[in-house]
Amino acid sequence: METRNVIVPVHDGPLDLSRPHFVGIGGAGMSAVARLLLESGSRVSGSDTSDTAALRALEDTGARVFVGHTAANLPADATILVWSSAVTPSNPEVAAARRSGIPVVHRSDVLAHLIASAEQSVAVAGTHGKTMTTGILSAALGHLDPSYAIGGTPVGRPNAHHGTGGLLIAEADESDRTAGRYHPRVAIVLNVDDDHPEQYVDLNDVLDTIERLARNSSILVVSADDHGARLLAERLQLAPGPRVVTVGESRDADVRVMRVLWDGEASHVTVQDTDGAWYQFILAVPGRHNAMNAAAAFAAGRTLGAEPADLVDGINAFQGVQRRLTTTGRHGGVTVLDSYAHHPSEIAADLTTARMLTEGRVIAVFEPTGWTRTAALGEEMGRRLAAADEVVLLDVHATVESPLTGVSTAPIAAKVAELGGRAHTAGDDREIEDLVAEMAGPGDLVVTMGTGTASRVGRAVLLRLADAPVAAPAA
């Protein structure tokens, strides 16, 4: 999702993690690191702008949490204050920490410390699919009781866990350029795309950050199919670097995906290991892109020495990640799925999957993320959304300030219409919910997409359908 254009200074000194205070503790990445520290014995506190399920979950685990930012939230005995790239320099808790001489460190510094301290570690990177792959790998290696930190919540599990196995699996976020700070034993690079226009100049700029992560690792598991990932592999050939293991459908992949079959919302994936042996697992998540994510997790597990049978059992047990094409519900023959997709590539992948899951119409409810992203990628979003039968556009969801003005969903709608699609807008939430409920019929599939609150539309549509009067049979 869109972040602030921010330069994150590196903290060079030691980190005392016994009493950390998190500003923005409810964020996906922050809450995962906070929970990891909580379970390892740290006394954790933190604040965020609104009361969320993430805050309540941390409180239930033992953290002291506050809604709203004020200097009074900062404990006098805090050993460090942890901030994320969503936090502004003027934050009163950050200012109070600086006045008190409490070290102010970025979330990435804490995660880098944890990765470096682990006996073995894996950092999962890529413009798309990091959260899903981190979740799959943590399940695949579940027999080792790994520690993990995920930027989303796996179905049936928390977003982080402090295990006993000496292995840490962590999602490496490139959005603020900090992914290059990590030194894992194994790095996974799923893809490299031109994303985060507020932070990066172009694809080569993104590659610079991902290359630093790759060169910091001993082993790199990298996609053999993705264009950006192949460019990364070519860069690594110019100077000595990590051992490279490629994975994908390409004929030259070291771990090759031989077949992907679908059974409802599950994927049956067959891979050929580096020794030529074939293995099959069932991923309870739809989509070819997710099958590739699972193959990358399998390949990474093998580089760590895990037995194929254990990896297959772990992947088979994986239930998915919330808001990654998860089922919101069904009523009256209408199925509603929810997706975090916000980049054109993600939109295309999820709509391709949605088309496979129904013989009816696909209705996309899309909430663009960020002013800069929408201005830069809006037309391409519209091009990909045109694959749906109907497109309903919500207003732009923005969590950070932008100097841009006049940005709207109009270019998205125009591109959908230009390509023969049908785009709709409405005045407020209730109008949108009514519009989608009236539009959807038996056999149709509704996909709510975006990083913001689009999922609420899906839930409301199901309630509208449940409350709709049943037509009387003809006489």
CATH number of 118-317: 3.40.1190.10
pLDDT at 200: 85
Is it the case that residue 429 has pLDDT exceeding 90? no
Q: Which residue has the tokens 């942890």?
A: 82
CATH superfamily of 20-105: NAD(P)-binding Rossmann-like Domain (3.40.50.720)
325 backbone φψ class: left, alpha, beta (φ>0; ψ -120 to 50):
left
User: Which tens digit of pLDDT belongs to each residue from 444-454?
Assistant: 999 999 988 88
Is it the case that residue 157 has pLDDT exceeding 90? yes
In this chain, the answer to whether the domains covering 20-105 and 324-466 adopt an identical fold is no
Residue closest to 363 by CA, chosen among 381, 385, 340, 380: 385
CA distance 357 to 371: 32
CATH architecture of the domain formed by 324-466: Alpha-Beta Complex (3.90)
Radius of gyration of the chain (CA): 22
Least confident of 149-153, 422-426, 428-432, 433-437: 428-432
Show contacts of 54-59: CB within 8 Å, 24+ apart. Answer: 54/25, 54/26, 54/27, 54/28, 55/25, 55/26, 57/31, 57/158, 58/25, 58/26, 58/31, 58/34
Joined together, the tokens standing for residue 176 give: 């603020």
Buried b (16+ CB within 10 A) or exposed e, 239-272: eebbebbbbbbeeebbbbbeebeeeebebebbbb
Q: Quote the pTM value.
A: 0.90
70 backbone φψ class: left, alpha, beta (φ>0; ψ -120 to 50):
beta
Q: How confident is the model at residue 20 (pLDDT cuts 50, 70, 90)?
A: very high
pLDDT at 474: 45
Q: Which residue has the tokens 């919101």?
A: 328
Cα angle value 404/408/414 (rounded, 5°): 135
Joined together, the tokens standing for residue 264 give: 């409802």
pLDDT at 404: 66
Report which of residues 46 and 400 the model is more confident about: 46
Instruction: Annotate 277-302 with DSSP letters as a single string.
Output: -EEEEEESS--HHHHHHHHHHHHHHH
Is it the case that residue 471 has pLDDT exceeding 70? no
Q: How confident is the model at residue 475 (pLDDT cuts 50, 70, 90)?
A: very low
Report CA-CA distances (Å) from 333 to 131, 215, 465: 30, 50, 10
Average the pLDDT over 227-236 and give the result. Answer: 97
Average the pLDDT over 282-300 and give the result. Answer: 96
pLDDT at 47: 98
User: Which tens digit of pLDDT belongs to each residue from 87-107?
Assistant: 988 999 999 999 999 999 999
Mean pLDDT of the chain: 93
User: Which tens digit of pLDDT belongs to each residue from 51-86?
Assistant: 999 999 999 999 999 999 999 999 999 999 999 988
Q: Which residue has the tokens 């109008």?
A: 431
User: Which tens digit of pLDDT belongs to each residue from 201-213?
Assistant: 899 999 999 999 9
Q: How confident is the model at residue 178 (pLDDT cuts 50, 70, 90)?
A: very high
Q: How confident is the model at residue 5 (pLDDT cuts 50, 70, 90)?
A: low
User: Which tens digit of pLDDT belongs to each residue from 375-392?
Assistant: 989 999 999 999 999 999
* Domain ranges, ordered by start, for the chain: 20-105, 118-317, 324-466
pLDDT at 33: 98
What stretches of 31-108 adopt beta strand conformation (E)?
A: 45-48, 64-67, 80-83, 104-106
Q: Say which DSSP state 434 is in.
A: H
Average the pLDDT over 287-303 and give the result. Answer: 97
Percent pLDDT > 70 in the chain is: 96
Q: How confident is the model at residue 24 (pLDDT cuts 50, 70, 90)?
A: very high
pLDDT at 402: 61
